[in-house]
Structure 1
Amino acid sequence: MSLVLNTNISSLQAQNNLTKSSSELSTATEDLSSGLKVNTAADNAAGYAIATRFQTQIGGLSQASENASDAINLAQTAGSALSQITSNLQSIRDLAVQAANGTYQASDRSAINTSVQQYLSEITRIANQTTFNGTNVLNGSTSSLSFQIGANVGQSINVQLGQGVTTGQVGQISEISTGDISGAFVNASGVSGSSISLSGLSITGADGTSYTFSGTSTATSAQDLADDINAAGINGVSAAVNASGGINIYSTGELSVKGAALTGANGSGFNLTTGAVAYGASGLGNAASGLAATGVTYTDGGTLSASGSLAGGDVLTVDDANQLISRIDAALTTVSNFSSTLGAVQNRFQSTISTLSAQQTNLTSSQSSIQDTDFAATTAQLSQAQVLQQAGISVLATANSEPQNILKLLQ
């Protein structure tokens, strides 16, 4: 090897290697101090972009999980209020059953009605004042709410809240009220208590299923007829003797009664629906639709839709009490269905939270494999870089001293 003065190749090589080992030492130190092997885009351009995208998704999933928790809290708030409304409805029903008892006087029913009105007012108050973060959830003013349960646009669940549960929004029923039917149970000799055949009676209940009484079905009084209707188990349909000596037939949904072919005890035809007054809505044969509160004459076999509400209900008479019982049953069905929907919503959001948690965990694992420091490997690299740096400094010092040998040649 030539001995030259102006260019020290050994020194330059030592400097290059020292620079490399110093850079590796610096990188290892940064990785160990930050815990990341991708600190900037320069460390790993593709990995940095992917890890950043993962972080965006992870953050979105975390917030989505919190959103789902908020939805559960909202549903629980509404559910708790509905439980109180159900309790009040059941209390009203108990009082209505009490008031329907014939042993009570008008003054007694008036006293019972005082409690009924307080319960009705409380139901409306609960429905109007149950809110979640300023949003009313039980009076129907909020038709639906959308909950963002994903990291991306469009990943949402809509919860329907359009069903209000104030007294003016629940308790819809349909009703047919007949006049006095005691004459049907009087035979040709004028003896009462004789039976009539119910073979011509057909009633369609709330679910649209029609029940037709068999030819062996008979009744000996208005109460017996009401008992037969109740015993038939027609969906949503109940019956009770009214103050006129006839019967009231109630349904929590649609109601259709065809009773023009009944045979009275005296052998003559007996029409259960002629002159009957209907309370409800929709087509009644030739009768008007959109019935007024006073009712219209019912058309035999016409269809009634439920209408009205608990608002204004009372127990001042036996008929009023029976009607209120039917309306309470309809209201309880509405409230329980709403509660069931909210319960299902809670389960759905709980499932969503579990799914989001799994997604977040998997994305975090993938992100970690890209950007997190492997301390075992990096520590080894640090030790290697430290040794190389120290060796490089020593070698550089030796290389820098080589030109001094030229002085020996000049002595």
Structure 2
Amino acid sequence: MSSILTNNGAIVALQTLKNINSSLTKTQNEISTGKSVATAKDNAAVWSISKVMEAEVSGFKTISSNLSMASSAVATAQNGAEQISALMTQMRDAVIAAQNLGAGDTSSRDKVQADIDQLVGQIGTIVSSAQINGMNLLDGSTASFGFLASLDRSAGGTVTAGTIDVTGHDLSQGAYVAQAAFTGSTGASTAADTAAFTMDAATGTGTLVVDAGATYAAGDKLQVTIGGKTASYTFSAADVASTTPADLAAVGLKGAIEALGIADLTVDYDSGTAGTLVLTNGGASDLGVSAQYKNAGAGGLGLLSTITVDTPANASTALANIETMMQDVIAAASDFGSSGKRIDTQIGFLSKLTDTLTMGIGALVDANMEEASARLQALQTQQQLGIQSLSIANQAPSSILALFR
């Protein structure tokens, strides 16, 4: 049946052409944007996942940039500590040279002292200038700092920040104030703020006495070096407020010395005598022991202000102090080196992780350009055929006129 009111062929051709044009528009959008999923309307689930991944990539790039600054700060501190170690080695050599001078050779001692003072000043300059963007890990102003290193997303969508904690070291030269902290110890100095002695192999003993008559403040530190290993104890506010701060410090030092793990070293605490520790060397080698008091405001290298070589005795004390401080500086450089390596490793990992996420996003939303090109040509051909089909269908009602001629 033919009808001049309803052209079924034209309707079918028109619907087909609309579908072809819709697919053609979508394909052209893929080619122009390079994405098969450009908006949430294209595929809501895939679009949502890709946006979360894009946010991760952006966050990791920012973290990586910030970690580069952290790496610079730690590297600066490491280089500073290493340079200070080299300067202290020069200072140590100068003190050793002073020990070989005669007691009356004041002129030579003065020259050595002048060299030492210059080295002390240079160390202070390095400490104060070893900063990046206001962060100084050498002057004691930064006890520790947590650098943001990752954003860890759980299965539930919760994001937790991961940090790399870097510990600062106090290598400053605050004012040192002598304190009679080791009076009664074996080999105690005249001022009793230091003690030094050697324990013979197998049977050697020595006594460390934390002076109960001294007045301590919170932050004061007692440092003991045995066989090249250093233990320390810092007075807390509670210690100072107690009636037996010397006993508390002695017990704390005992634990710290035992934690050094020195073979065949025995540490006995004499509870009957205030603040007294008895050390016994049962090993096969002699053990050198040195102890040093540091007041709270002295800074890690505060003892540099006490380095004098005007007499053989002072030169000997100076050598012991330098040895102790060098251990602190070497430990600082080592810590910064470890932290710097960890930060650099994390930067490398974030770079690879960012690349992997970027490729994952591309796999989700990027258009297959070869497929899109082939589909475009096919749809353009279908469009032309659809237009031709619609044209033929539109001509069909005109044939009815022949019936009325």
Query: Please, what TM-score do these two structures have when normalized by structure 1?
Result: 0.69
> Which residue of 1 is the match for residue 146 of structure 2?
146
* Aligned twin of 1:7: 6
The equivalent of 2:326 in structure 1 is 332
Paired amino acid for 1:167: Q
Give how far 1:57 is off. Answer: 1.1
Q: Which runs of 5+ in 2 are unaligned?
A: 152-158, 190-199, 209-224, 233-247, 251-268, 280-288, 295-302
Indicate if the aligned counterparts of 2:77 and 2:136 stay in contact, CA closer than 8 A: no
Could you list the per-position Cα deviations for residues 274-319 of structure 1 after superposition, in whole angstroms to 9, with x for gaps in the alignment? xxxxxxx944968876xxxxxxxxx794898532322222111111
Structure 1 segment 43-62 matched on structure 2, within 5 A: 43-62=42-61
1:354 to 348, 352, 356: 348
Residue ranges of structure 1 left out of the alignment (5+ in a row): 180-196, 206-232, 238-251, 255-280, 290-298
Which amino acid in structure 2 is aligned with residue 202 of structure 1?
T
Change (3 A) 1:236 1:169: farther
Q: State which of 134, 155, 168 in structure 1 corresponds to 2:162.
A: 155
What is the CA–CA distance in structure 2 between the aligned matches of 1:305 and 1:68, rounded to whole Å? 39
Counterpart-to-counterpart distance in 2, 1:324 and 1:57:
55
Shift of the 10–114 alpha-carbon distance from structure 1 to 2, 3 Å rule, reads same
- Once the two structures are TM-superposed, the CA of residue 234 in structure 1 deviates from its matched residue by 6.0
Alpha-carbon shift at residue 235 of structure 1 (Å):
0.6
Change (3 A) 1:204 1:21: farther
Displacement after TM superposition at 1:201 (Å): 4.0
Task: Please report how far the alpha carbon of residue 198 of structure 1 lies from its aligned counterpart in structure 2 after TM superposition.
Answer: 9.8
The verdict on how the C-alpha distance between 1:160 and 1:235 changes in structure 2, with shifts beyond 3 A counting, is same
**Helix, strand or coil at the partner of 1:164:** coil
Measured against aligned partners, the alpha-carbon deviations of 1:254-290 in whole angstroms (never above 9, x if no partner) come to 7xxxxxxxxxxxxxxxxxxxxxxxxxx944968876x
- Whether 2:308 is the aligned partner of 1:314: answer yes
Partner of residue 205 from structure 2, selected from 185, 192, 202: 202
d(CA) in 2 for partners of 1:310, 1:370: 63
Match of 2:164, SS state, is: strand
The 5-angstrom pairing of residues 91-130 of structure 1 reads: 91-103=90-102, 105-130=105-130
Q: 1:55 to 1:253 in 2, by over 3 A?
A: closer
| CA distance in structure 1 between the partners assigned to 2:201 and 2:35 by the alignment | 87
Shift of 1:355: 2.4
Q: Percent identity?
A: 26
Return 301-310 or 122-131, whichever deviates more. Answer: 301-310
Contact preservation (8 Å) 1:96, 1:315: yes
2:166 is paired with a residue whose SS is strand
Letter in 2 for 1:156: T
| Contact kept? 2:207, 2:278, Cα under 8 Å | no
Task: Confirm or deny: 8 A CA contact 1:143 1:160 kept in the other structure.
Answer: yes
- 1:204–1:372 Cα change, 3 Å: farther
CA contact (8 A) 1:168 1:310 kept: no
Using structure 2 for the length normalisation, give the TM-score: 0.70
Cα offset, 1:80, TM superposition = 1.4
Q: Does structure 2 conserve the Cα–Cα contact (< 8 Å) formed by 1:204 and 1:234?
A: no
Whole-angstrom distance in 2 between the partners of 1:109 and 1:331: 22
**Residues 149 and 161 of structure 2 are in contact (CA less than 8 Å); yes or no, is this contact kept in structure 1?**
no
Deviation at 1:111, TM superposition (A): 2.1
Rate the CA distance shift 1:44–1:375 in 2: closer, same or farther, 3 A: same
Distance 1:375 1:84 in 2: 58
Q: Name the CA distance, whole Å, in 2 between partners of 1:32 and 1:140.
A: 59
The one-letter amino acid paired with 1:235 is G
Q: Is the 8 A contact 1:253 1:306 kept in 2?
A: no
The structure 2 residue matched to 1:384, chosen from 374, 378, 388, is 378
**1:123 aligned partner, one-letter code:** I
1:364 aligns with 2:350: no
Matched residue SS, 1:150: strand
Q: Contact 1:149/1:156 (CA < 8 Å) preserved in 2? A: yes
Amino acid at match of 1:108: S
Deviation at 1:344?
0.9
Structure 1 distance, partners of 2:330, 2:39, is 57
Q: What is the deviation of 1:106?
A: 1.9
SS in structure 2 of the partner of residue 29 of structure 1: helix
In the alignment, residue 109 of structure 2 is paired with which amino acid? Answer: R
Per the alignment, do residues 200 and 17 of structure 1 end up closer, same or farther by CA in structure 2, a change over 3 Å counting?
closer
1:40 aligns with 2:34: no
The answer to whether the 8 Å contact 1:47/1:371 transfers is yes
Q: CA RMSD in A?
A: 3.3
Pairwise CA distance, 1:118:
1.7
Contact in 2 for aligned 1:36/1:373 (Cα 8 Å): yes
Question: Does 1:27 pair with 2:26?
Answer: yes
| Per-residue deviation, 1:24 | 0.9
How many positions carry a matched residue from both structures? 317
- Alpha-carbon distance in structure 2 between the residues aligned to 1:123 and 1:370: 57
Residue type at the aligned position of 2:227? N
Query: Offset at 1:103?
Result: 3.0
Compare CA radii of gyration and give the structure with the larger one.
1
Mapping of 1:63-82 within 5 angstroms?
63-82=62-81
Segment of structure 1 superposing worse, 148-157 or 136-145: 148-157
Deviation of 1:71 (Å) = 1.9
Q: Secondary structure at the match of 1:157?
A: strand
Counterpart Cα distance in 2 of 1:339 and 1:198: 32
C-alpha displacement of 1:406 = 1.5
Q: Secondary structure at the match of 1:115?
A: helix
Supply the distance in 1 between the matched residues of 2:65 and 2:226 (Cα, whole angstroms). Answer: 46
